Amino acid sequence: MIRPLLFLSLLSSAAWAASADEALVQKQGRLLFSDDFERDEATPDKEDIGNGWTTNSAWRAQGQKQVDLNEGHMVVTRLPVANHGVAIFHDVAFRDGAVKLKFKLGTEGDLGVDFVDRECKTVHAGHLCVAQVTSKNVTLRDSKTGAMDLKIKERREKEGNSPELAQLLKSKSAGFPLKMDPEAWHEMLIVVQGDVMRFTLDGLEIGQFKSEGIAHPTKRMITLAVNKSAEVDDVQVWSLAD
């Protein structure tokens, strides 16, 4: 059992780390993109997010609408017809950077923030690294040298989930437990700096993960990935100057 003073010390330490990342963004950051979704869709009955956002609904959900703008935020719901989770893309390029956004998951919702470079041909669809959150945990993953590496995907098709591959893939991610109210709005801050990804939730650092694929020199796109449902607001993307 954690003693009260030690517990407070741990909370203070986490808050300090989170404040350090906030300060880092404010001191070194250059705002590349922001969206508060305070607008109406030009064509309400069609998926028309605007402000540079695109999605995979055209080819994954038979063109049906999975993303809606409602009361100043974005509502994402995967339809039964979809053969893949909802992916919402925005071009924005940086080496080291940060993504900050507000979100609400609902009971069984989820949200991933995926860093992508489609010019990188060694990985499936350019997936580099991702932070994924549910109401119960956060997972930080190196996709470039892990599950999305084309050579590893080829090995998995040939070898199956061999103990060697399982151990390799296990080393490419880190998970952190959460206790989060899924019906409330929360704020995440993801910092990608060198080969380290850090995740902060509501002002407290939840965890960090160090892996070589995170250090890919250019992240050219962010993708919001939703397997079931999520609501998103106040997205900001920052570049962190060297």
Residue 93: which domain range? Answer: 4-240
Which residues of the chain register pLDDT less than 50?
Answer: 1-14
Rg (CA), the chain: 18
| Per-residue pLDDT, 241 | 75
Q: What is the pLDDT of residue 162?
A: 87
Tell me the HSE value of 180 on the side-chain side, using a 13 A CA sphere. 28
DSSP H helical segments within 29-160, as ranges? 57-60, 150-159
Report pLDDT for 17.
56
201 neighbors 188 (Cβ within 8 angstroms) = yes
3-class DSSP state for residue 174?
A: strand
Own/partner long-range contacts of 63-69 (Cβ < 8 Å, ≥24 apart) = 68/41, 69/37, 69/39, 69/40, 69/41
Pairing label, strands 219-226, 137-142: unpaired
Supply the DSSP string of 19-39, one letter for each residue. HHHHHHHHHHEEEEEEE---S
CA atoms within 13 A on the CB side of 90: 19
User: Rounded to an integer, what distance in angstroms lies between the CA atom of residue 116 and that of residue 138?
Assistant: 19
Q: Render pLDDT for 22-36 as a digit per residue (tens, 0 to 9).
A: 889 989 999 999 999
- The sign one gets for the Cα dihedral 93, 33, 74, 185 is positive
Task: Kindly report the backbone phi and psi dihedral angles of residue 69, in degrees, each rounded to the nearest multiple of 5, phi listed first.
Answer: -100, 125
Question: For residue 5, what are the CA distances in angstroms to 9, 113, 204, 213?
Answer: 6, 35, 18, 38
Question: In this structure, what CATH number is given to the domain that contains residue 172?
Answer: 2.60.120.560
User: What's the pLDDT score for residue 11?
Assistant: 44
Cite the DSSP H helix spans in 139-208: 150-159, 163-170
Q: Looking at residue 242, what is its pLDDT?
A: 59
Number of domains in the chain: 1
Rounded to the nearest integer, the mean pLDDT of the chain is 91
CA–CA gap between residue 224 and residue 74 (Å, rounded)? 11
